[in-house]
Each structure stands twice: as structure tokens, then as C-alpha cells.
Amino acid sequence: MAANDTTPLIERRSIDYIPEAERHGRLFSQFTLWMGANLQITAIVTGALAVVLGGDVFWSLIGLLIGQLIGGGVMALHAAQGPKLGLPQMISSRVQFGVYGAAIPIVLVCLMYLGFTATGTVLSGQALGQLFGVSDSVGILIFASVIVLVTVLGYRVIHFIGRVASVIGVVAFVYLFSRLVSQTDVGALLQIRHFSWSSFLLAVSLAASWQIAFGPYVADYSRYLPSKTSSVKTFFAAGAGSVVGAQVAMVLGVFAAAMSNGQFAGHEVAYIVGLSGTGATAALLYFSIAFGKVTISTLNSYGSFMCIATIISGFRGRLEVTRLQRLVFVLAIVGTATLIALLGQHSFLGAFKSFILFLLAFFTPWSAINLVDYYCITRERYDVPALADPNGRYGRWNLLGISVYVFGVLVQLPFISTKFYTGPLVAALGDVDISWIIGLVLPAALYYVCAKKWHGTVPDQLILPTEQGAIPTTNGLAAQA
């Protein structure tokens, strides 16, 4: 399953179906990509929040691990769809929402990833500014240029960057852990155990929300794998990489926050690098922080491009996007994110990040609906050509999917806790945001019951586009003649 030499460096596909002849890659690349995407500074900060906001070290670590496993399972279920369908993740939403209706959750997902790109660019700009001795603004512009290049090159280069980031991340994190252990009594920190349901659930929620946020684009990076690739192996490759990478980063964040005596919050990059001392070692760590953000920022930019292209193609009736159009989309996306980063680096970035986290509530129900439909209702039996036809099997608007989605968003509002918005039931729950649990469970149950009774026509088998030189097989997949 290794890539052949004829596979172009610059990706020529966008949101269209990947023919079997162009499938390539190894399952191990799914592991390294998602581990590299999680071994980065924002994951460290996220883990540190469990302690900064009142938790102890021991129960924070347990809560984070449980959250990783729950959220990572949801994320990995989406990843397993890629090889079977050969499509980006959000295109498949047309089965549940209709060819036009899928634009509703996609617009909100696109906004969220645009925001994640902006916030990550600020942290990377700080690291590059320290590394090259320039201002943070110049560092932001340097980082944005790298993101444009990698995103335009596409799938193969993104996976390559993921492999390199995994290696650099492992080396950097091993070194940082060794320095941390040498400077503090880790055993003493673990002995302090004051269990609190609110702090424990906060840790679970932080990790689970982190993992679930990958759901709308994780299949974008598994769709080039051969269609015969095991769904179970894809699930574990992507899920394990993401869970291991995020947990390692968040564990470091927990210990760093616990030993910082209040110096971590607001000075995250400088504090982490400060664990290593100064000079060449500090410079290498600044580089590793910036490089670690390349992977996830590229995934966010690439995912935003896929979302915009999916929306436009739904109304245009075609799945193809030219390379020039791809370049224009990427420049617009990264340019907007860079502008937000430059404007917000000193002022409203904290509030803006809260707004982005608020947007999480708008795609958790999407995830529940998509997974229930794919694994329980249609059972992988999609009509892929019909996804581009508003007059076809899935129609323009699917009122069932849209109605359950709206219900899923509204039912979360009382439980959301962010600086941007706080629901009326949050205080009674100890100021813990459990909206992601509500947003997964209730829409999933409602959609399953309703779709079992009122679902549209489901094909007898998976229907894929006709490929040149391909013959149909008994399981509905296309095999090269």
C-alpha cells in the first residue's frame, strides 16, 4: 500500500472521489499524522487548564485520559469512513442533510477551524519571533506563508509533515519531561488527591472536546487509503495516534501548571521553553513548537478549504475544484486567519477563542447524526454519485436530519459554559460544561429512532462512481480490470 513514484507531489484531487488507481499510503501514516497533530503547544495549554481551573494532578490525569478515549473513539469512527467512501468527511453529510442542507453545519465548522487556525498562528508567531529575534507580527506572517505552501501542496506533503512532526515532537517532549522531572517532585504531586466531580468532569470535557473537534475532517486524510483497508485498523491507527499524542501533551501541561506557582497562564510558550534553560536548546524548542503547529494549522486550513469547496459544489452540482481555485481558496482562508491573528494577538483573542469553543456545540450533533446514519441506518451503503445531484436520491434538503440537528444544538444551550455564553444550568453542575455529552447522546438517540421509521431509500450496496477500466464486484466496490 505504499505510494508509487507516479503519484504527484502536488495533490490534484480536491473534494472529488479518489479512484482506486490513485489510492496509496499506509495505515502507519494515519498514526504519525494524528500523533504529530497533537504533540503541540495548544494541547499542552488545554491539559494545563484542568489544573489552572482547580483540579489536582492525579484526578486531572485520569479525567483527561477518559476524555481522550471517549472523544478519540468518536473521531476514529469518522476516520474509518475515508477508505470506504474515498471522499472528504463533510461531503458525506449530504446523505443526512441533503445536497443543499449539508451547507448548514459545514458553514459553522468552517468558521470554527478558521478560528482555530488564527489562535494557533498567534502561538506560533510568538515562537518564531523568539527564534529569529523578530516581532510576533513578523513571526505570524512567516508562519502563515508556510501554512499556505503546505496546504496548497496537499495530501502527500501533509502526511510527510505529520511524520516529521511526530519525530520532532517525541524528541522534544521526552526532553521536556526529563527536565520537568529533574526540577520537581512528581511523586509528591501525584499524592495530592482531592477528588471533585466538577474538576474531574472538567478534565474529561477538555480532552473529549479536543478529540471530537477533529471529527469533521479526519476522513479527509484517510480517503486515499485503498478501499480494502480494514475499517477496524483505520479506526485504531488514527484513534491511537490522536489519543497518544494528545494525552502526552496534556500530561506535560498538567505537571507544568502544577509546578508553576501561577506563572504558566498567559506565558505558556515562554514557560515551557524556560524548562530547558537558554541558548541553543531553547532555540530548538521554539522551533519544535512552531513546527508542531504546522501540522495542526495545515489540517485546519485544508479542512476549511474542503468545507468551502463542499458548500460551493453542492449548489454548483459538481465535485471538481481546479488547482487555481484551490490556491485562491487557500489564500483567502489563511489570509483571513492571519488578519484575525494580527488584530487579536494583544486584545480580543481570548474572547475570540471562547467564541470558537462555543461553536463546538454546533457540530457535535452533526457528528452524532453522521455516525448513527453511517453505522446503524445505511450501514455504509451510500450512493456516492448521488451526493452531487440535488435531484437525486438524497434531494436538496433532508428535513429529518436538519430537524434533529437543530434539536441537538438547542438542547445543549443550557449546559454550555464559555466566556462568550453560559447556559442557565451550568452553575448547578459546578460550572462544568457537559454540553458535548448532551450533544452526542440525545441527537444520536433521536435520529436513530426517527431514521429507522422514516429514512429515505437506502441502496442495497455501496455505489461508487464508475472508473475507467473498472468492473463491478459483488460487494459494490470497484476493482481494477
Cα dihedral sign, 90-94-96-101: positive
**Spans of all domains in the chain:** 29-465
| Rounded Cα gap, residues 20 and 361, in angstroms | 36
> Cα separations (Å) of 145 from 273, 307, 473?
24, 21, 45
Lowest mean pLDDT among 132-141, 238-247, 356-365, 397-406: 356-365
DSSP 151-199: HHH-HHHHHHHHHHHHHHHHHHHHHHHHHHHHHS-HHHHHH-----HHH
Query: Each residue of 366-410: pLDDT tens digit?
Result: 999 999 999 999 998 999 889 888 888 999 999 999 999 999 999
pTM of the model: 0.84
pLDDT at 473 over 50: no
Across the range 417-429, mean pLDDT stands at 84
Confidence at 8, pLDDT banded by 50, 70, 90: low
Three-state secondary structure string covering 107-147: HHHHHHHHHHHHHHHHHHHHHHHHHHCCCHHHHHHHHHHHH
Lowest mean pLDDT among 54-58, 275-279, 433-437: 275-279
Phi then psi for residue 184, to 5 deg, are: -145, 160
Lowest mean pLDDT among 25-34, 38-47, 71-80: 38-47
Helix axes 399-412, 103-132, angle to 10 degrees: 50
Confidence at 113, pLDDT banded by 50, 70, 90: confident
Q: For position 12, what pLDDT does the model report? A: 66
- Looking up cell 456516492 gives 384
Question: 29-465 in CATH: which number?
Answer: 1.10.4160.10
